[in-house]
Structure 1
């Protein structure tokens, strides 16, 4: 598991809180799909059918990930850009861009 920094006060107000219920609903569906794959393996279902379900889970997780990236950019990066303009400090936005770039890099591994 990757080392993940503990949340700071700055991270307590997440953009996805407006979509939290939809996000949790989608994650619950994915959780159900994973349980279904577990059951399929236990029942020794046809390998290709199991792989098809795993592919669907991966696609669903990617969709959640992209939604979170979009929320982060539209909330955190945009707020950092506004703060950068107000303070004249370009490092604020550079830090957020670096943060999202690192997160995207982790998703692509």
Structure 2
């Protein structure tokens, strides 16, 4: 990673690596740890035969939380990786992004 400060919190190289700032990594890790705890909680609810509607509500909360993580990563990708690769003439990155967005929208 070069020593210049990036304008956005993520920077991707042509080696297809993402270089998130420590603040971004910490925030994403915190969110994912919380989601992991929610998943364990749902597992416990199922083991305790919790009412299905309550389990479904918790599943919806987890899905929303995962979508939030995805939005943060997508924003950083679009503001850094995508721009950088387009500037380098790698226009195929737009098709790659469209494929990824289709996967996210399933």
Which one has a larger percent helix, Structure 1 or Structure 2? 1
Higher strand fraction: Structure 1 or Structure 2? 2
1:66 equivalenced with 2:63 (yes/no):
no
Tell me which stretches of 4 or more aligned residues in structure 1 moved more than 4 Å.
none
Is the Cα contact below 8 Å between 2:14 and 2:85 reproduced in 1? no
Q: Is the 8 A contact 2:45 2:55 kept in 1?
A: yes
CA RMSD of aligned residues (A): 1.6
Gaps of 5+ in 1: 1-7, 85-91
Give the conservation status (yes or no) of the 8 Å contact 1:41–1:50. yes
TM-score w.r.t. structure 1 length? 0.78
Deviation at 1:66, TM superposition (A): 1.4
Q: Name 1:50's counterpart in structure 2.
A: 55
Gaps of 5+ in 2: 1-12
Higher relative contact order (CA 8 A, sep 6+): 2
Give the TM-score taking structure 2 as reference length.
Answer: 0.80
2:35·2:66 contact (CA, 8 Å) conserved in 1?
yes
Q: Report the alpha carbon displacement of residue 32 of structure 1 after superposing the two structures with TM.
A: 0.4
Query: Which residue, 92, 95, 98 being the options, matches 1:101?
Result: 98
* Secondary structure of the corresponding residue to residue 45 of structure 1: coil
